[in-house]
Every structure is written in C-alpha cells, then in structure tokens.
C-alpha cells in the first residue's frame, strides 16, 4: 500500500511531529522558491547524525529530524512553536514535586 503525503498547505499541521520528511519535501518542491529549496537542502545537509542499527550494529548516516522539523516550523509554520511555548508554561510534575519541598 502506498503512503499518502499530506499537503501541508491544504491541511496545515497541528503539531510539529506531523512535519514528516516526505511532507516537508513535498511542500518545498511544490511551494518553495529557489531560495527555500537551497535553504532546505543546506538544512538537511548540516543536520546529519550517525545512527547505529540495533540489529546489525552497522553505523549509518541519517538526518537529525527533530532539528530539521524545528527549523522548518520556524520558517513556514511559526504558530507551531508558539503553541509549544504556551504549553510549556504549565507546571510539570517535577515542578509540582519541588513545590512540596518549599512549604
């Protein structure tokens, strides 16, 4: 079964994880300017990491997709990062535990 690629312009992403490699590539190919395409290629080339295959123990080069997603979102979908900042204002469980010790 072939996987379908979500057009990020027609269906705007609601969260950063929905920015898949295929969706970002499709968006750049279809809507990106020449400068956007150069920027994306450089972004991907500069964010590579070595990954170890857990089964074969072979080391291969891959993309640091989390950094690429954040940069892509910052350029094309900045509202995704704003939502993340707004959510981070809520106290974490660890913060609540620290407050117990303050009393």
Q: What is the pLDDT of residues 79-99, one digit of tens each?
A: 998 866 666 667 778 777 888
Residue 35 neighbours by CB under 8 Å, 6+ apart = none
Can you give the pLDDT at residue 94? Answer: 79
β 48-52/59-63 pair status? antiparallel
Report the distance separating Cα 40 and Cα 32, nearest Å: 9
Can you give the pLDDT at residue 87? Answer: 62
Domain boundaries, the chain: 16-102
Selection from 45, 37, 26, 20 nearest residue 10 by Cα: 26
């Amino acid at each position: 079964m072939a996987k379908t690629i979500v057009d990020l312009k027609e269906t705007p992403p609601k969260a950063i994880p929905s920015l898949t490699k295929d969706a970002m590539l499709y968006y750049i190919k279809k809507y990106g300017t020449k400068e956007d395409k150069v920027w994306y290629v450089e972004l991907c080339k500069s964010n590579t990491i070595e990954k170890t295959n857990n089964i074969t123990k072979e080391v291969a080069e891959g993309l640091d997709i989390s950094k690429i997603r954040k940069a892509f979102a910052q350029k094309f979908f900045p509202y995704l990062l704003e939502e993340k900042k707004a959510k981070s204002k809520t106290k974490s469980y660890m913060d609540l535990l620290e407050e117990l010790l303050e009393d």
